[in-house]
Amino acid sequence: MMRTRTWIATSGGPHLLIADEQLPHWRGIERWRDHNDPADQSDYARACRVTTWLGSLACQQGSAVVLSGDAGDIAWYPNRQGGGFLVQWLGVDDERLIEPALYAPQLRDRLESSSAERLEFETGASGTMWLIDASDQGYDLRNSHQALALLPGNYLAKAASYGSPGLAMVVREICWISPPVNEAALGQER
């Protein structure tokens, strides 16, 4: 089956969603020894220790969102509200089944349920977030990757699994919450 979206693969570890401003600071497999060793503090080892669909790791002056928990390529499906869906391909008979499923009431119920994972994150000033293989070094991306153009600000990510005949996927919905906090303006008000 031919795929029409850009599907980002990994070399076996998790995916990462990271702000453009933090990307050069992500070291991936640099100094990596063994992700099962808690003493290994390489970026890749820390990312591999995240076992949930949504996790957060410190990176320089910010953080990165780890997309873990299942193996499968991920594609970006933007929406008109400034966010979108990161869809992880687990088992799909036909790619055309995905987009209608993203707006199905059953998926909405799963994403709004108390069992859905949730994580708030902030983009950098540019709003650009990179979807990459967590093993990559941000200053030298060698594996498949994609830039996501988001509005700068704060976001809520919600994750749930979804299945229907011919379709099995993990969906991470990315919802804009608010513009970034302007620290300089806050200092002037005090």
- What pLDDT shows up at residue 1? 59
| Amino acid at position 57, single letter | L
- What pLDDT shows up at residue 190? 45
Confidence (pTM): 0.89
- What pLDDT shows up at residue 49? 93
Question: How far is it, in rounded angstroms, from Cα 181 to Cα 190?
Answer: 15
Question: Residues with Cβ < 8 Å from 17, sequence gap 6 or more?
Answer: 64, 65, 67, 86, 121, 129, 130, 131, 148
- The pLDDT profile of the chain, 190 residues, written as one tens digit per residue, is 567 889 999 988 899 999 999 999 999 887 867 767 777 789 999 999 999 999 999 998 889 999 998 889 999 999 988 899 999 999 989 999 999 999 999 999 999 999 999 999 999 999 999 999 999 999 988 888 999 999 999 999 999 999 999 999 999 999 999 888 765 444 444 4
- What pLDDT shows up at residue 2? 66
User: Which candidate, 102, 96, 58, 91, places its Cα nearest to that of 167?
Assistant: 91
* In the chain, where the domains are located: 24-177
